[in-house]
Amino acid sequence: MTGPQHAPATDPPADELPAAPLDDADPLAPFTGRFLTAEGVVAYLDGNSLGRPVATLPDRFDRLLRHDWGTRLIRSWDERWMTLPTELGDRIGRSCLGAAPGQTVVADSTTVLLYKAVRAALDARPGRTELVLDDDQFPTDRFVVEGIAAERGATVRWISVDPDAGVTPELVAEVVGPDTAVVLVNHVSYRSGHLADLAGIARVTHDAGALLVADLCHSVGVVPTHLDDDGVDLAVGCTYKYLNGGPGAPAFLYARADLLPDLHPPVQGWMGAADVFAMADGYEPATGIRRFVSGTPPVVGMLPVQAMLDLVDEAGLDAVREKSVALTEYALALVDAWLVPLGVVVGTPRDAATRGSHVTVRHPRMQQVVERLWAEGVVPDFRHPDGLRIGLSPLSTTFADVRAGLLAIRRALLDD
């Protein structure tokens, strides 16, 4: 038998910045037990990349296999599945986006829907030839825009941003002009966690006569968004991060209702036709948001999203955001106390009003630190060149998880 295990002598005292009082006072604490247990994981700090599965999923999948698919077979298309893209889209719009019905649809991947949104927006501004985005947006966004520019003979105008911050209305105003067709922004920066002012950016974009497309991948399900009120024209987001849809889960697209008649879908598929079963010789798009559906709806991939939305609706998105702020504030307090003295630099805004639900810390050895942490069951992620992201999904993350993760980072830096 081994003797009692003692904490390393270099560890901070157990009563320094304790997590237990925060977890005891957390009104959302019961939700952390409503996800499947991750065997061998000490602290999961990557919910901003892949959310944990909801505990009700095995029963939901069993019903799909035994009843909806296994018993009803192809009849389920008429009975349930055909309307799922718009029904689930409306639910995401209501629960997370501040979007009235008829403007959100679930289909395809984020990349495909970004292409559809930006291409359609560009074509809806004939005579304008410039696409504007910042130079630290997620690679997919940059690659899609560059591809569309090459395809349509457009020009990309870059906004230079501080990678520890993000895009602002003032920065957008410096770049947009009479040739601007589309501005594409990340609501929350994948690197820094900066939370953009969508309403302010929308005003600047519209003053220039352009359309705003927002990427909501790192905000949907954790930051209340008000697309209708903020004047966002189109938006795209994934469902596998804070909406816990699982690997390969489908994305969603929002398009403002009054703009829809001017948006021509660039990928014309039969599922987006005005009459799907007419098998018509020519393509006529559906009158509403369904026109952005191209192929067969991803029925299996939509199931986990429905389970997570049940939890979001039960908790309330405002309460989710409140806990998100508390988690990131606690993480920053631990970083300041335990990691900054070791040479770590905070790469995330300090002001909670301009911060999403992850905290990025930078150090030259972070790639090696993350590799060690994963082997120990502590799971943050690494972003080139030197950033470790602490992703905090409020309904599945405890304050104890945050403390255990930051303590493991400290130990790895001291040992390396």
Just list the catalytic residues: 138, 215, 240-241, 389
Measured between alpha carbons, how far is residue 29 from residues 96, 234, 259, 273, 321 in Å? 21, 35, 41, 45, 14
- Cα distance from N-terminal residue to C-terminal residue, the chain: 29
Q: What's the 3-state SS for the chain?
A: CCCCCCCCCCCCCCCCCCCHHHHHHCCCHHHHHCECCCCCCCEECECCCCCCCECCHHHHHHHHHHHHHCCCCCHHHHHCHHHHHHHHHHHHHHHHHCCCCCCEEEECCHHHHHHHHHHHHHHCCCCCCEEEEECCCCHHHHHHHHHHHHHHCCEEEEECCCCCCCCCHHHHHCCCCCCEEEEEEECECCCCCEECCHHHHHHHHHHCCCEEEEECCCCCCCCCCCHHHHCCCEEEECCCCCCCCCCCCCEEEEECHHHHHHCCCCCCCHHHECCHHHCCCCCCECCCHHHHCCCCCCHHHHHHHHHHHHHHHHHCHHHHHHHHHHHHHHHHHHHHHHHHHHCCEECCCCCHHHECCEEEEECCCHHHHHHHHHHCCEECEEECCCEEEEECCCCCCCHHHHHHHHHHHHHHHHHC
